[in-house]
Structure 1
Amino acid sequence: MPALNDCPAPAKLNLFLHVTGRRADGYHLLQTVFQLIDRGDTLHFATRDDGRIHRTSDLPGVPEESDLVVRAARLLQQAVQQRHSGRHIDGRPGADISVEKQLPMGGGLGGGSSDAATTLLALNHLWQAGLTRRELMALGLQLGADVPFFLFGRNAFAEGVGEELIEVATPDCWYVVIEPGIGVPTQQIFSATGLTRDTKPVTISDFSETPFGFGKNDLQVVAAKLFPPVADAIEWLKQYGEARMTGSGACVFCPFMEEQQADTVLASMPAKWKAWKARALPQHPLAHLLQS
């Protein structure tokens, strides 16, 4: 049966993240720039013709039925069925999926969302489903607000709940990322009473003029107060540059123009943290699988 192995699911960084309002349904309105980086999870796919979707790797704390990867595969499977007007299809497409996790859960790096997006990209190709990028993005939005970005395939200025995307040029640089050793629940941060929800909207040209150090992360103040390890990591990394938290936490990052600068920072990193460097990516490694 056809297979695709070693499929990358890259992490993202939020170069800034502003909360500009809140919708009537409770969802927060955001502005952010999503940056792809060359570190992430790796997925492997093997098709099967009995319609089963099976995760063959163990993922502690994440039951197979609730895994975004499995949910993404089943969502695409339903879309394939609907394209055939609901008729039974002999050899209904299925898949065995293995996930090699490298990104921490609850780190603000978009690991689960990126895994789901890679699943949609790979199985759309293997199953010859023929969905376009926009159709895949619409499916992805049903799984989470960050999933459409990874299917968009390029670095992006995002608005709405994160699904309104415009391609944006970002610096070719290196990032040092610290994993503070904790997971931060996104819902806890967004529901905090101290969260700023009225930051003045900016434009894409505002960011493009001064991409390094632009804006702030409105979620950082809340996360740092509730989770001291996040505050400690920010404070330590600030001595080397514009350090800030990504997403709703917990990971903290700082940009550097030269790889050697990143190596110098990593060499002095306290042993209590896991830390690594990653280079900015101009586009998703699987962008060639996208149909416009």
Structure 2
Amino acid sequence: MPVVLIDWADTLHLERRHDGQLHRHDLGPALPPDDLCLRAARSLQQASGTTLGADISILKQVPWGAGMGGGSSDAATTLLGLNKLWGLNWPRARLQTLAAQLGADVPFFVGGRNAFVEGIGDILTPMPVPTQRFAVIKPPQAIATAAIFSSPLVTRNTKPAIVAGSLADTVCERNQQQSFEGLLGGFGRNDLQAAAEALCPEVTQARQWLAQRFGNSRMTGSGSAVFARVEETGTGGQPVATELEGTLPEGWVGRMCHSLLEHPLVGWAS
């Protein structure tokens, strides 16, 4: 599946400790006691044998239960940051091996570049993506990933989209030459979307809300967030609104986002 980095992100502060302890500090809403960041830090500490610890402060901005990979991104940032802070100098491939033990999305964020992702998240084919603008919205209800994958509506053993030879380049070329609506209609699908919409009708409402305004929409990951590619101009050449605040139904959150060419910390591992 194609996975693209965007500029809606959490903020992490890492500070080295010399007593070997790991502490997390919530700068916003309280996080689960043993979230992915602490697990990532503990895994790297144990695997490296370092005697150093860290204070990890997190300002959560990506909504929970959105299917946007916020927790996985934070775990990857923790691995990249502590690798540098502790002076480990692990290569990216070694960090990605550890990342795969934490979750299927973590290796992608450690990789640091837009990619076509296969397997259990451990096979990454770099996929350059032209700068895009997206409207991303999330209704109030979150969806448990376990509930999605246990649903009978999830397509099992779906025919894989295989990246062989120039297929990844072909996907990228189509993204450059067509509207994102055309790409969505012509390449792939989200096999989790039907299950998510059955469990959470708000996903359908959000998808329809975006489609009415921007002409396209699709669920991201396991939901409940949905996104649409936003053109610079709409029908008749009129500028498209750049803000979502004040237009969303009560309780929904969303923002206009831009794609990133690479993760801000991509240079922190080789």
Aligned to 1:67: 35
- Indicate which of 141, 149, 156 corresponds to 1:190: 149
Aligned CA-pair RMSD? 1.8
Q: Distance in 1 between matches of 2:125 and 2:70?
A: 21
In the other structure, the counterpart of 1:227 is: 200
Map 1:135-284 → 2, pairs under 5 A: 135-202=94-161, 203=163, 204-211=168-175, 212=180, 213=184, 214-239=187-212, 240-258=214-232, 261-263=240-242, 268-284=247-263
One-letter amino acid of the counterpart of residue 38, structure 2: V
- Count the aligned residue pairs: 249
Given residue 232 of structure 1, which amino acid in structure 2 is its aligned partner? Q
* Structure 1 residue aligned with 2:47: 79
Report if aligned partners of 1:172, 1:257 keep a CA contact under 8 Å in 2.
no
User: 1:47 aligned to 16, 21, 26, which one?
Assistant: 16
How far did 1:262 drift? 5.0
Over 3 Å counting, the alpha-carbon distance change for 1:46 and 1:198 in structure 2 is same
The CA distance in 1 between the partners of 2:171 and 2:198, in whole Å, is: 27
Task: Name the amino acid aligned to 2:107.
Answer: P
Structure number having the greater strand percentage: 1
Structure 1: gaps spanning 5 or more residues: 1-31, 82-88
CA drift of 1:266 comes to 5.9
Residues 216 and 283 (structure 1), Cα distance of their counterparts in 2 relative to 1, 3 Å cut:
same
Q: Give the superposition deviation at 1:225.
A: 1.1
Say yes or no: does 1:36 pair with 2:9.
no
In 2, the alpha carbon distance for the partners of 1:266 and 1:206 equals 36
Q: Is the 8 A contact 2:136 2:256 kept in 1?
A: yes
CA distance in 1, matches of 2:159, 2:125: 19
State the AA in 1 paired with 2:172. Answer: S
- Whichever residue aligns with residue 60 of structure 1, its letter is A
**In 1, Cα distance between the equivalents of 2:246 and 2:169?**
36
Structure 2 distance, partners of 1:51, 1:236, is: 49
Q: Distance in 2 between matches of 1:234 and 1:61?
A: 28
- Which amino acid is the alignment partner of residue 55 of structure 2? D
Give TM-score, length-normalised by structure 2. 0.87
Superposition deviation, residue 130 in structure 1: 1.3
Aligned to 1:7: none
TM-score (norm 1): 0.80
Q: Report if aligned partners of 2:4, 2:260 keep a CA contact under 8 Å in 1.
A: yes
User: In the aligned structure 1, how far is the partner of 2:170 from the partner of 2:93?
Assistant: 27
Return 5+ residue gaps in structure 2 as ranges: 234-238
**Residue 171 (structure 1) shift:** 2.9
> For 1:56-82, what per-residue CA distance to the aligned partner results, in whole angstroms no more than 9, with x for missing partners?
22653511xx2111111111111221x
Q: Does the CA contact (< 8 Å) of 1:176 and 1:262 recur in 2?
A: no
Q: What's the CA shift string for 1:111-170, capped at 9, x where partnerless?
A: 111110000101100100111000000111111010000000100001101221010022
Offset at residue 195 of structure 1 (A) = 1.0
